[in-house]
A and B are shown apart, each in its own frame.
Chain A
């Protein structure tokens, strides 16, 4: 009888160093938006105001976290040749779930986000994580990875939306921050920056975030 060498499996603690890295890494070093440049379309489209951006972030958090776990559970069952279709089915069902919940409880935001909830399905971050991580890792790790990437996505989204709403409409979460009396129509000197409301400015804001991030984090600078 051939000797079977028992591979000793190390049991990692739930929040061991490696697992914690799964969450913290996407926040900075491998941020899905600023480093991998995925999911840009939604970052441009729904960052005009903070509230929709927050709802969008939570939706992506749910879809990515749950989706990663589901794919990870099925990773040994999915035939390799049809894996993309299976991934699509999983993400589509989750997105429909989110869409229905939004319609039921926050109808206004749902209308504002319109197609972009449905377009979570095509958000490259989600398919990217399914392909790159969930297909080859255990459910718990996949869950952490999904949550980490969703947070990485969320903080960029919220940062962009913060500046766009503050400078573009003078508000934060719909509350007037810049005093009404400052505005020119009220006899003041201030005027909102209309360009902040246009998509190009979201691109430029993301660009500035990337610029600042790379200036601080020298690991990201490519050698050439």
Chain B
């Protein structure tokens, strides 16, 4: 650490006012405060005292995602070798390394491109670099399929950072969750690489390796949507031995992350809990009305037990890591209950009613992101009205 400090101190004169690299001060500042707690503090006026700042918050969220990331690496390798019929002969490390070799480049591309775009905007706008992208940069690879070309990841990241965030004024001003914006962009721009039953498992074997008979790469949700047979048990779904986006498959890994977020108080338990309730409510509604489905596929999907909907697809991942995004979620405490409930509610509804978009949680969260300011407005308005009424009764008596 001493080494970093020395380097930072030695280059500092170039970046401060009057130095030749003055324009790039935001870059310097971004690195310096990332590595060390900044030495300057606010001297006057009221300000919140807290040991945690934006960077520490972001790093905590990244730690919470590590279980999902590591599991995703192993799972990608496992599914790849299973598809080739080699799952038995490969060791744990083989599978993990195969996955890591595919996923680490995605993480690097995501961070490199995203931070690059952010730095450029900070230099143009002359504002400090905010670390909003630290989480998004990790989330984006986790919600992509394993086989997506790297340049598509890069294009999606550029779109998410520019249109999803910088247009609105940078970190903290965005209406939509940037990571989900990237995924939605990729989903609509390159549908053949983002949906269907070919993209979730890498099946390109070396010479002499062939795909096993009866292999299907469909996700659980995809199978339900098209009326296919689901070949995974409930336990598989919970532990995550299923095809899907890289980080979303294992509900267990996501739960570990959720525990970290809840323990540190960074994720809102209200959103998570109400999202859970919303999803269960919709699931139970579907169970009740399953017999009125318009097609046999839909009936089969509607009859899925409500609790099982929670462990299929990216529901858990989205609810824990993306619905709780403090910027794009509802801000008021009562608003969070409504927001979370509707996220869960719509996620299951879209998933079942629209087979073209099996991953309902993505669209549900984006939709509720847009609605969050409306919810907040009415919650605040209701509070004002309540107080006005109280004031009136006090005056009258």
Interface residues of A (CB under 8 A from B): 184, 189, 191, 193-196, 198, 204, 207, 211
CB distance from B235 to the nearest CB of A (A): 37
A189 and B163 in contact (CB under 8 A), knowing A194-B191, A195-B185?
A: no
Name the residue on A nearest B163 (C-beta). A204
User: What is the bound-complex CA distance between A211 and B155, given in angstroms?
Assistant: 20
Q: Tell which of A191, A195, A196, A198 touches B193, judged by Cβ atoms closer than 8 Å.
A: A191
Given A196-B189, A198-B188, A191 contacting B152 (CB threshold 8 A)? yes
Q: How far is the CB of A121 from chain B (nearest CB, A)?
A: 32
* Residue interface mask B187-222, A partner, CB < 8 A = 1: 011111100000000000000000000000000000
User: Are A189 and B151 in contact (CB-based, < 8 A)?
Assistant: yes
CA distance A207 to B190 in the complex (A): 22
Contact of B167 with A by CB under 8 A? yes
* Bound Cα distance from A135 to B190, whole angstroms: 49
Choose one: B152, B167, B193; the contact of A211 (CB below 8 Å): B167
Most buried by B among A195, A198, A204, A211: A195
- Is B149's beta carbon under 8 Å from chain A? yes
Chain B contact surface mostly:
helix
Pairwise interchain contact B191-A189, C-beta atoms closer than 8 A: no
- A-B pairs, top 8 by smallest CB distance, nearest first, are A195-B189, A195-B188, A193-B189, A194-B189, A191-B190, A194-B191, A204-B163, A198-B188
In the complex, how many angstroms separate the beta carbon of A191 from the nearest chain B beta carbon?
6
Residues of A within 8 A of B163 (CB): 204
Since A193-B155, A198-B188 are in contact, a sample of 13 more A-B pairs with Cβ atoms closer than 8 Å, ordered by chain A residue number, is: A189-B151, A191-B152, A191-B190, A191-B192, A193-B189, A193-B190, A194-B188, A194-B189, A194-B191, A195-B185, A195-B189, A196-B189, A207-B167
Q: Contact string, B318-341, partner A, CB cutoff 8 A, digits 1/0? A: 000000000000000000000000
Residues of chain A contacted by B185 (CB below 8 angstroms) = 195
Taking CB atoms, residues of chain B closer than 8 Å to A194 are: 188-191
A82 to nearest B CB, angstroms? 41
A143 to chain B, nearest CB (A): 38
**Chain B residues, Cβ within 8 Å of A207:** 167
Cα distance, A204 to B188, chains bound together (Å): 14
Considering the chains assembled together, what is the distance between the CA atoms of A193 and B185 in angstroms?
10
C-alpha gap A27/B165 in the complex (Å)? 29
Q: Bound state CA distance, A195 and B192, in angstroms?
A: 12
A to B CB contacts below 8 Å, 18 in the list: A184-B149, A189-B149, A191-B149, A191-B152, A191-B190, A191-B192, A191-B193, A193-B189, A193-B190, A194-B188, A194-B189, A195-B185, A195-B188, A195-B189, A196-B189, A198-B188, A204-B163, A207-B167
In the docked arrangement, what's the CA distance between A191 and B190, Å? 7
Please indicate the chain B residues that have their CB under 8 angstroms from the CB of A193 in the complex: 155, 189-190
In the bound assembly, the distance between CA atoms of A99 and B281 in angstroms comes to: 53
B155 partner residues in chain A, CB cutoff 8 A = 193
Residues of A within 8 A of B167 (CB): 207, 211
- Shortest CB-to-CB span from B295 to chain A, Å, is 26
How far, in Å, is A99 (CB) from chain B's closest CB? 33
